[in-house]
């Protein structure tokens, strides 16, 4: 079985922190490959600042093109909406029986995990890897079986901060893949 980590997100836009985290998880041997699951819409978030899903997918594909074990996926684009992670994981298992799936989430998401639809189903059926997020402390000793906190580097920016920097025409060259920056310029972002 290929151990596939599902790293879901809006990727609005995808940034170097996302890629560096994926590389770290691969180097630590937690998974064999990582699929960045571009979400059309997170049911727990507002959509007012959400860029077009195909544009976000295109940026993610550009940012992952040079990595053998990291790819961008549009799997959730083809599921009924609103889409929920538990359903994505079930559909992934049906579509890819030669893979075992784990879920990669940030500490911020772990702290609201009980708000996720069918979160108990996820806990019972899939390993969960939690990565640190600044300002979201995790009590490692209280994590349930199958949930693992990964000591990973913190990255000092978020997609929200990058969108704000782009609006202010600030330099984001250390945060984004050069071809993503070029695409953003072409789209007047």
Q: What is the pLDDT of residues 90-125, one digit of tens each?
A: 999 999 999 999 999 999 999 999 999 999 999 999
CB 26 within 8 A of CB 34: yes
Q: Indicate if the alpha-carbon torsion angle 20, 103, 95, 4 is positive or negative.
A: positive
Q: What is the pLDDT of residues 126-142, one digit of tens each?
A: 999 999 999 999 999 99
pLDDT at 55 over 70: yes
Q: In this structure, what DSSP letter does residue 6 have?
A: E
Half-sphere exposure of 114 (CA within 13 A, CB side): 2
What is the pTM (predicted TM-score) of this model?
Answer: 0.94
The alpha-helical segments, DSSP class H, found in the chain are 16-27, 53-64, 85-95, 107-110, 119-125, 159-167, 178-186
Q: Is 29 in a helix, a strand, or coil?
A: coil
Q: What is the pLDDT of residues 67-99, one digit of tens each?
A: 999 999 999 999 998 889 999 999 999 999 999
Q: What is the pLDDT of residues 166-187, one digit of tens each?
A: 999 999 999 999 999 999 999 8
Q: What is the C-alpha separation between 165 and 148, in angstroms, rounded? A: 33
Q: What is the C-alpha separation between 77 and 125, in angstroms, rounded? A: 23
């Amino acid at each position: 079985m290929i151990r596939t980590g599902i790293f879901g997100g809006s990727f609005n836009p995808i940034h170097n922190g996302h890629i560096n985290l994926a590389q770290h998880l691969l180097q630590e041997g937690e998974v064999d490959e990582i699929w960045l699951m571009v979400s059309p819409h997170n049911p727990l978030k507002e959509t007012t600042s959400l860029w077009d899903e195909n544009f976000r997918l295109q940026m993610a594909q550009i940012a992952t093109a040079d990595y053998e074990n990291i790819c961008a996926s549009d799997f959730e684009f083809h599921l009924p909406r609103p889409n929920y992670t538990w359903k994505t994981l079930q559909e992934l298992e049906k579509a890819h029986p030669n893979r075992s799936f784990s879920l990669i989430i940030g500490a911020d998401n772990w702290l609201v995990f009980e708000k996720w639809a069918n979160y108990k189903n996820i806990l019972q059926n899939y390993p969960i890897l939690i990565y640190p997020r600044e300002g979201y402390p995790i009590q490692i000793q209280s994590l349930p079986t199958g949930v693992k906190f990964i000591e990973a580097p913190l990255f000092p920016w978020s997609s929200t901060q990058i969108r704000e920097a782009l609006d202010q025409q600030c330099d984001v060259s250390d945060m984004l893949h050069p071809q993503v920056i070029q695409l953003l310029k072409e789209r007047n972002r």
